[in-house]
Amino acid sequence: MRVLVTESIAQSGIDMLGKKAEVDVRLKIGRDELLEIIKGYHGIVVRSATLVDSQLLKAAKNLKVVGRAGNGIDNIDLDAATQAGVVVVNTPESNSVSAAEHTIGMMLASCRNTCSANQYIKSGNWDRSRFKGNELDGKTVGIIGLGRIGSLVSSRLQSFNMKVIAYDPYIPGERFELLGVEKMEKLEDLLIRADIITVHTPRTEETIGMLGESQLATIKDGVRLVNCARGGIIEEKALYKALKSGKVASAALDVFEQEPCPDNPLFGLDNIVVTPHLGADTHEAQNKVGINIAKHVLDALEGRFVTGAVNMPSLHDKDMEYLKPYLLLAEKLGRLYYQLEKRPVSKVEIKYRGGIAEHKTGLLTLAYLKGLLEPVVKERVNYVNAKLLAKSRGIDVMESLDSAASEYTDLIEARVSNGHGAFSMAGTLFGMKELRIVELNGYKIDMEPAPHMLLVRNEDKPGVIGCIGTIMGVSKINIATMRVSRNSKGGKALMVLNVDGVVPKDVIDMVKKVDGITEVNFIKL
């Protein structure tokens, strides 16, 4: 495996990558050269400067993972990566504490005129009267965005005895209550109440220009603004006017619409504190970012589930611990269909029963689709693009949950429709370790999904099982286990043989000639 690192990460991360992969560190590599060499790499690690767009992804024939060492993914075309089946991973939690602490520091510096006083004293002057500031105690702080960093900022500001209000339409009310934060239903409600406003949202089409001229016109006179999130959320021209007029008493910015920007007009104002995107720039954060991005990239390259993936469902640790054993089961169930049926699929219905239904099962559905599609599509199929590929083939995917107790503690049921009928299958785990297929197209059965299996449908009459056993013995094919199921005496029966190797076509043809045999399929799982 080869990994290209185009921007600086901690040496600890480089060392971790180097234990499993060949790592090339090419800082400040030119765009043309990058497009030329990227085809030779399976992974790329970037920060915010390297553009990972559709052009790059098209040139990256062998790319499996893009690692963003940090939080935002503004420089990565997520849709193009998903279509290409490339996992995009980042490290949003690694620098959360550093970003939250920097926000508090910037807020204090802004309220207490720390930076201006520092510069004034160092220039040989002494006059403290001109730098009188304001306390945080008793003030109302408005937090826009109550995600990871916003939540950390909230808890820290409450220790300053501040009243915390927040606006985030994507966070449930229970989360606000848990954090002791008053929920604002509208952004306007926050703007008219807050003494200090701090921004903690990602940069999206929805948030760019969120605080523009019209919004700044509604805020309290003398409000203070802090942005250590993403540049462009506060319109800089509008902010400049508000700072000049005194409508905004002061601002503290760590991020800007364009970076670097040494000639930014805001830098000429006395009532603004600025830093060059330092929010995550601590030794501790960078070490954690380097180690975590290396771990995520290696997980993706080695085919493991990636907890830091952006373009696939995320899971809490408790969900992942419970569901991980079921990922392989779901994928093996999906692999059954096209080895037993040749008709194109029109709809997939997956039902999760029992305790499994109380967890986030979206990843299991992706695992099933991955198993279903891998045998019949040319594109690489993985958890990232499985649902997209299903949609492109006109397959409707439906998922339902039923936590009521049933015959099994947990059960995954799948029904595949093909325009001529439907094919069903179901599986469970025994002791959370042993995979079992317990239903196959109407037949109840207890079969372990093995690498090599022979599925036989036959008339339920004496002698059939013996004939098959004889053929396997004569052909030197060892039968590991055999399971038989029938729905009615004298009707059709299903026989499943787990065998120790591939069953050649001539042996399958011999089995088909046995009196009473109606169908034979060799399956690889």
Task: Establish whether 349 is a catalytic residue.
Answer: no
Q: Is 102 found in the same domain as 229?
A: yes
CATH code of the domain containing 489: 3.30.70.260
141 and 268 in one domain? yes
Quick check: 381 pLDDT over 70? yes
Q: Are residues 112 and 229 in the same domain?
A: yes
Residues 85, 200, single domain; the answer is: no
The string over 316-329, giving b where at least 16 C-beta atoms fall within 10 Å of a residue's C-beta and e elsewhere, is eeebbebbeebbeb
CA dihedral 452, 457, 463, 467 (to 10 degrees): -40
Q: What is the CATH number of the domain that holds 385?
A: 3.30.1330.90
Q: Which pLDDT score is estimated for 315?
A: 62
**Domain-located, residue 524:** yes
Instruction: Write the pLDDT tens digit of every residue in 282-328.
Output: 999 999 999 999 999 999 998 777 777 888 776 666 677 788 889 89
Nearest to 339 by CA among 492, 225, 200, 453: 453
Quickly tell me which residue has 């920097």 as its tokens: 102
Query: Residue 363's domain spans which residues?
Result: 314-449
**Which one is predicted more confidently, 430 or 223?**
223
Q: What is the mean pLDDT of residues 482-498?
A: 90
Residue 6 within any structural domain of the chain = yes
Same domain, 222 and 143: yes
Residues 181 and 232 in one domain: yes
Is-above-0.85 flag for pTM?
Answer: no
Which is catalytic among the residues 112, 277, 436, 483?
Answer: 277
> What total of structural domains would you count in the chain?
4
90 and 105 co-located in one domain? no
DSSP secondary structure of 87-101? EEEE-TTTTHHHHHH
pLDDT digits (tens, 9 = 90+) for 59-113: 999 999 999 998 778 899 988 998 888 999 998 788 899 999 999 999 999 999 9
Clarify whether 519 is annotated catalytic: no
Q: Are 256 and 229 in contact (CB under 8 A)?
A: no
Main-chain phi, psi angles of 287, to 5 degrees? -65, -45
* Start-to-end Cα distance in the chain: 26
Q: Where residue 236 sits, what CATH number does that domain have?
A: 3.40.50.720
How many CA atoms lie less than 13 Å away from 249 in the CB half-sphere? 19
**Local structure of residue 393 (DSSP, 8 states):** T
Has residue 279 been placed in a domain?
A: no
Mean pLDDT of the chain: 92
Q: Please tell me whether residues 241 and 327 are part of one structural domain.
A: no
Same domain, 130 and 236: yes
pLDDT at 397: 94
In terms of domains, do 255 and 294 share one? Answer: no
Q: Span 486-508, mean pLDDT?
A: 91
Phi, psi dihedral angles at 402 (to 5 degrees):
-145, 105
- pLDDT, tens digit (0-9, with 9 covering 90-100), for 351-378: 999 988 888 888 899 999 999 998 887 6
Question: What string of H, E and C letters represents the secondary structure of 100-165?
Answer: HHHHHHHHHHHHHCHHHHHHHHHCCCCCCHHHCCCCCCCCEEEEECCCHHHHHHHHHHHCCCCEEE
**Best CA proximity match to 522, nearest among 340, 393, 397:** 340
pLDDT digits (tens, 9 = 90+) for 110-155: 999 999 999 999 999 999 999 999 999 999 999 999 988 999 999 9
Query: 308 in a domain, yes or no?
Result: no
Is residue 196 domain-shared with residue 326, that is, in the same domain? Answer: no
Please report the pLDDT score of residue 314 as a whole number: 63
- Compute the average pLDDT of residues 489-507: 91
Q: Which residues contact 240 (CB under 8 A, 6 or more apart)?
A: 265, 266, 269
Q: Which of 230, 296, 353, 359 is catalytic?
A: 230
Catalytic residue among 206, 259, 321, 519: 259
Check if the beta carbon of residue 64 is closer than 8 Å to that of residue 300: yes
User: Is 289 within a domain?
Assistant: yes
Domain boundary, last residue among 449, 465, 481: 449
230 is catalytic: yes
Instruction: Using the 3D structure, point to which of 433, 449, 465 is the last residue of a domain.
Output: 449
Q: What is the pLDDT of residue 316?
A: 61
Asked if residue 293 and residue 348 are part of one domain, the reply reads: no
